[in-house]
Amino acid sequence: MTDNNTPKSAKKPRWTSLEVALIAVVSLLFIIVVALVILFATQQTVEICTTADCTRSAARLIENMDAAVDPCDNFYQYACGGWLKKNIIPETSSRYSTFGILQDELAVVLKGVLEKNVEDEAEALSKAKTLYKSCTNDSLTEQKGGSPLFMTLPDVFEWPMAADNWDSDYGKTWRVEDVIAKLNVKYQNILLVSMYVDVDERDSKSHIIHFEQQHSLGVWSKSDHACNGSNEEACRLYELFAIDLVKLIRTDRGLSVNETLIREEVARVMELERGIAEANDSPSVSNDRELRYNRMELGDLNANFTLEVESRPFNWSYFTAQIMNTVNITVTDTEEVINLSPNYFKKLNPLLAKYSKRDVQNYLMWRFASGMVDHLSKAYRDTAKAFKKAMHGATAEEPVWRQCAVFVSSAMYNAVGRLYVQEAFSDNSKKMMEEMIKDIRDVFISNLKELTWMDAVTKKAAEEKVRAIREQIGYSDNIMDDNYLNDEYKDLNYSVDEFFENIVHTTAYNKKKILQKLRVQVNKDEWVSGAAVINAFYSWRKNIIIFPAGILQPPFFSKGQAKSLNYGGIGMVIGHEVMHGFDNIGRKYDKDGDLKDWWTEDSAQRFLELSACIVEQYANFSWDLANGLNLKGNNTLGENIADNGGVRQAYQAYQNYVKKHGEEPRLPGLDLNHDQLFFLNFAQVWCGTRRREDALSSIQVDQHSPGKFRVLGSLQNFPEFAKVYGCNQSSYMVSDKVCRVW
């Protein structure tokens, strides 16, 4: 209640202007003091990491990014703009990227260890160094010219191109089975019919003989089998490459050169090769594992897949025996085999019927010789120079030492892996990798339980499979054992003066190692990669993820760099490889690595529907480096599924790490929190660019999306990214239609 009778003199007086001013000053001072206290307290809690690793990481991130770009408008340009401005594609390369830089650094390390003289080292290591030395003996290679190839041609029935006497000499006893068997087992030149020993996809403990279509198709494999538009020049130069090579070989051998006849015969070779490419299965058929698995007896091939050259039937049993006899394994018509390409072989028969045995031999020798020119003198390498530039854009050769380091590393990967590990790898990273793999596996299982599109039966099988995934990290312990290495390479002997011969010896040795596995149970613990490799892998048939020593370095991984960067780098790679067990191909294999359907019909249908969203999304990306062509979403689906799931799970695993261990100290010079740094490092892994020629060819056949779209696509599908960077709904990095499978 209010007392209205109170005298006016008794009411509280108004404040004077002086008093009001004093109150305002005091209030302002109070606010300033509180602000200073808050600021001081904040500065005390924001810890900055100043270690050498943190400083190096921060410098790299800052140097590669372009902070002037809005990350919500184009995160790839924001993350990689600095890298793109300062890096120019070397004249020796068709592309350049973060991976390319690491490959260059790896090659330098390999050069050092392969050129180092060490007393009393394992014999296998000495053999690798001898092979390298023979490769780098450039003056001797120039001196020999094309003679190493000339000496090899009679072993495979000679090259009849423009020859007068081939039909009466070699042509009389010529059998296509003999030629392609010799090319396969001795030179690893797989033409017309691909035959090899590999794991049985429905019984992953056993090996079995496989027959498949020819994959290496020269210019045709890079152009959707077309020779028009942007590819017309490459096709013209491919034919000119063949003509020039024949002319050079005949000139150096002292034989006549009838250019008109050479051009006529080369034209038929080009026509035949194009026909082989058109007979090949499409990528959608090649990726259908059930459709490809056609088990039958060897004799069934003779009965049902006839191939004829000049009315002479191809004898599949004879052909197979010619190859397996080289490792003293007998096969009969009752041998169980897998025919992976029945449609191809049915198309190949009427195609071959159009050509003479001379035409077929010309084709086989063209492909054989064209694959060997890189190991001959400069005059021979130059015959391919214009064609290679048209295909990939590179205008200069790699230094000889680099080519040799890469070759020896591939040919003797365990010996070179040992040298690399001893020189440049620390075992300290293995435990951290194991912990990250566990973290990401746990996230997959947690997410699996929350998926609404997959039923309980399929979820149970998926969980069993991911729990069964094994890992290989760094390198195989076997390569550190001198006796093991020496025994592995005991049948290899090299001469420092015979590089070409060393190549032939190595290819035959490696092929026979594979053939010898036919009657041997699969060793699922055997490493499928060397240590000196900057990549990672997943094996469907072994259900194993592999992280070689070469990739366990910044920006992917380092014991000393921030965990946010490790999870954004190698963590995403771990998630990516795990996801390959559940992509459009990997999902068809069970926990034991067998091709077996463990999906209910409803869950499988939902998977296909969700995958279609990703196919459409990536097919709508237009690539400026490829003249604005759109990506092929079907071709890259598996890798896109792996990217999308990989980055999601790595980020969630990092969040779990922070909950358990607390926030990390900030990096110096960067006004970014660690959630933002996670995505920044993920994107910078894929910084890179390509020449137009390489972009045009890769868009046709590469199973990976270009790095730019690996970043944009996966982050547009991950709403957490938009939250971390504060992107609004109208931003380019926020998609109206989020595609998610896992």
Annotated catalytic residues are 577, 643
Question: What is the amino acid identity at position 592?
Answer: D
To the nearest 10°, report the CA torsion of 97, 102, 103, 107.
150
Strand 537-539 and strand 295-297: the pairing is unpaired
Helices (H), 325-455: 342-352, 357-372, 378-382, 385-392, 400-411, 413-424, 429-450
d(C-alpha 40, C-alpha 369), whole Å: 74
**What is the residue whose two structure tokens read 């660690």?**
674
Q: Which DSSP helix (H) or strand (E) runs through 548? A: strand 544-548
Question: What is the amino acid identity at position 259?
Answer: E
Helices (H), 662-706: 674-684, 692-701
3-state secondary structure (DSSP) of residue 211: strand
Helices (H), 469-593: 482-488, 499-515, 563-566, 572-579
CA atoms lying within 13 Å on the CB side of residue 647: 27
Task: Tell me 161's DSSP state.
Answer: T
d(C-alpha 257, C-alpha 52), whole Å: 65
Let me know: does 390 contact 400? Beta carbons within 8 Å.
Answer: no
Find the angle CA(387)-CA(390)-CA(396) to the nearest 5 degrees.
80
**What is the residue whose two structure tokens read 């990096």?**
667
> Other C-beta atoms within 10 Å of 64: how many?
23
Let me know: does 82 contact 732? Beta carbons within 8 Å.
Answer: no
d(C-alpha 101, C-alpha 93), whole Å: 12
Cβ neighbours of residue 651 closer than 8 Å, sequence gap 6 or more: 567, 568, 675, 678, 679, 718, 720
Question: Structure tokens of 125?
Answer: 């290591």
> Other C-beta atoms within 10 Å of 91: how many?
11
Question: Dihedrals φ, ψ of 674, to 5°?
Answer: -75, -25
Would you call the peptide bond into 313 cis, given omega within 30 degrees of 0 as the criterion?
Answer: no
